[in-house]
Amino acid sequence: MQQASRRLDGSRTPATRGPHHNKNNNNDNNNNKSAGQLRLPPLQKVSSAPQLQKQRPGKEEQRRRQQQHHNSLPRIIQKEGSAVGSQSIVPSPAVAPSVEARQALFEVLSNPNIQKVAQRYYNLQLPDRQSGGRLGFKDLRKVLQDLNQHLGVPMPSSAAAEQLFKRFDFNGDGNLAFEEFFELFVSSLRRTAFDRSVLLGREVFVGQEPGNVWDQYHRIRTLGTGSFGAAHLGRHKRTNEERVIKAVQKSQARLPVEDIEREIMVMLRLDHPHVIRLYGWYEGSSTIYLIMDALKGGTLRDALLQQQSTGHSVEEGWSRNVMSQVLQAMAYCHSMRVIHKDLKDENVMLLKQGFDTGEPFVVIIDLGVAEMFSLSEPRGKLMGGSPMTMAPEVWQGNFGAKCDVWSAGCILFEMLSGGMPFMARSLNPRDWMALHKYGPNWRKVATSSQSRSLCQEMLTFADSARPSMAACLKHPWFSARPDALGLLPAEQLDHLQAFCKESALKRALLMEIAAKLPLDHAERIVKMFNQLDWNKDGGMSQEELCNAFAYVGLRDRALQEKTFQALDVNRDGLLSYSEFAAGVLLGFRDLLEERFEVLFRRHDLNSDGMLSRPECESFLAKVLPLAYREVKQSPEVTLNKLFAGSKAGLLSYEELRSKLLPTATAKITLF
C-alpha cells in the first residue's frame, strides 16, 4: 500500500490504497519479488469450508462495509473476551504474543509497504496462482495460522473465522479478492496490536478513552494549526492538569487513518524520559485527539533565537547537556527500531523556559513521520523531513537509522555556531547534496576541539562511515562528567527492593501512576534513571541494576534478581523508564500521594470526594487485569474486599489511600 509521504513544505500527499485502485492486483508477482520473499512453513490441512451465503449485497452496501473498516481506528478490547462494536468476533488471546512476535506485528503495521506483505500471505495460499484465483474459507484458515505463528494474531475458532470471512466478503461471492483480504489482514493486525488484554508495561495504561474529549477538557488556547489539524492546550475539568491535545483530521483527502495509527503505535512503543509521552487518545467521527505532555519551555529553536536576540552566546556546557539528552533519546529509539526522520530544532522541546533554570531538560517530539524498520529490511525508501536537516541518503530515498545522526549533527552545529550548516535556495536534491559533500563552514564553530570533532563525525556524508547514536555518546566530549554512582544514595535503591515485597495490586497501581507521570513532575526520577543507565541505551539491564546494588553494599544476589523480575513487568529483560519509575516512587512519598490524588479526582465524576462502586471499578479498570495475572483473584472479589465496612457503598479518598497506597510487606498477595 502506498502511504502518504510528507512534502518538503511539511504537507503530505494523500495516500492511495493500492488494491482499491488496481483491479488486477491479485497476482502482483513483481511487487512480491521487490518486497523480498516471505518463507512460511507448510501448514496442516483444514477441514472443508462451511456453506457460505451466496446472496450478494448491492454496490452501495459493499462501499459502506469497506468504509466502516477503512476509516476508523481499532476499537480497544475493554474486558477479557469481549470487545467494542464489530471487533468482538475474534476472542482475546489467552496467551500474550512473544516480545519478538509483537515487535514483528508493529513493524508490519507501520511498514509503508504493508500491502506487499499482505500480498505475500495472500499469494502463498491461493488455490491457483497462475489464473488469478481467490481465497476460499479453507485458504483463509491457513493464512490465519500463518499470522498466528509469525505475528501472534490469535487463531479464531471455526465459527468465529466464518463470521470474519463473511464480514470481509463484501460482494458475498464466497471468496476473498485481494482487496477484501487486505482489509481483513489490516483489521486483524490492528485488533491484536491494540488488544489491552495481552499488553504488559506502560501500554496497559495508555489507550483510547471513552466519550468526547471536550467533555473532559477545557480548551485554554490553540497553540498552532496545520494542514491536518491543530494543537490545543487543554485543562482537565476534574484534575486541573494541563495537556497538549493534538487534533488530527483522519479523512483520506487530508491524512489517512493509517498515518495517525502509525504515530500512535510508535508512541506506544517508546518509553523514555526524553521522548514525548502519549497519555491516551479520543476518537471523533472525523478527528483523532492525541493527549500528550504540555512542555512549556518552548522549542530549542525558540530558545536559541531568544539567546541570540540578547547578544549572548550559548554556553558549550548547556549545548553538551542538550545534545547528550537528544542522543540518549534517539539511541533508545533506534534500539526500538524507530527512525525519527524529521529531527530538527523545532522538534526538540524544553521542559522549562530560559537558560537560567538549571540544567536543560529536552524532549523529542513529532513522531508523525517516524518509521519502524525491521532487521530484515533496515532501510527506508519514502523521502520526508525538513530540507535543512535531511541527510543525503534521505534525499536519495535509501536511508537507515543514521539519517537521524546527521540531523542531530545539524542541531549541534547550530548550537555551536549560531547558524545552520546547510542552506540551499531550491528544493532540488542535487543542490542540497552538493552542499553536503562540500561540508559546512567549520570556521563558524568557535567552541572546543572535542565539540567540533563530534559534529564533524556526525555530518559525515557517507552514512556507512557515520557513527551510530550509541557511538556518539561515547565521544570524549561527553566523558568529562561526574561519576553517576557517587551521586546516588543507597536508600533510593532500598525502595526498589521494597517494591517487590508489595502486593500485586499495589505494584500494578504504582505502574499506572508511573505510566501517567508528567515529565514536569519527574525530573528527580529521570535523574536517577539516567545515573543508573550507564550505557545510555534507554533501558536498564539486570546487570546494571545488580551492579548499582553491589556498589552501595546491597549484595544479596537472590534479592537483586527478585527485584529486577518484579520491576520487569513486560518480561523483555530490560527495565523501561516507567518500570523503573514505578519502583522508585516509594522513595518520593510527596509525589506518589499527589499523583494518587490526581488519579482519584479523575474518576470522582461528581467531585464529592467519594468513589461509588462503579467509579471505583473505573479507577481500577486497568490495574486489576494486570494484578490478576499474578494472583488469580477475580475483580469482583477484590472490590468486595475494598468496600467491606464502607458506609453507604462509598469510599473516601482517605479510605482508598490507606487501602491502596503501598507500605512494604513481606508476602506477595493481592492486598
Show binding-site residues for ATP.
246
Per-residue cell: 470: 550509541
Which DSSP category does 135 fall into?
Answer: B
What SS3 class is residue 268? helix
- The three three-digit cell numbers of residue 22, written as one number: 488496481
Beta pairing class for 371-372 and 574-575: unpaired
Query: Using N-to-C axis directions, what is the helix angle for 490-499 and 542-551, rounded to 10°?
Result: 130
CA–CA separation, 269 and 438 (whole Å): 38
Residue 592: is it exposed, middle or buried by C-beta count within 10 angstroms (0-12/13-18/19+)? buried
Give the β-pairing of 217-226 and 242-249: unpaired
Determine the residue type at 634. S
Give the three-state DSSP class for 240.
coil
Number of residues assigned to the chain: 671
DSSP annotation of 197: G
Q: Which residues contact 356 (CB under 8 A, 6 or more apart)?
A: none
Cα–Cα distance, 157 to 609 (Å, whole number): 46
Nearest Cα to 134, choosing from 146, 121, 143, 125?
125
Buried b (16+ CB within 10 A) or exposed e, 557-567: eeebeebbebb
Q: How many CA atoms lie within 13 A of 471 on its CB side?
A: 11
SS (H, E, C) 296-327: CCCEHHHHHHHHHHCCCCCCHHHHHHHHHHHH
Task: Give 310's contacts (C-beta < 8 A, 6+ positions apart).
Answer: none
Q: What is the spatial distance between Cα 229 and Cα 257, in angstroms, rounded to a whole number?
A: 13
Of 385, 396, 472, nearest to 433 by C-alpha is: 396
Which residue positions form the known binding site?
246
Q: State residue 515 phi and psi, 5-degree precision.
A: -65, -30
Specify whether the CB–CB gap between 102 and 153 falls below 8 A. Answer: no
Which three-class secondary structure state does DSSP give residue 267? helix
Stretch (H or E) spanning 374: none
The β-bridge partners of 12 are: 6
C-alpha 610/C-alpha 603 separation (Å) is: 10
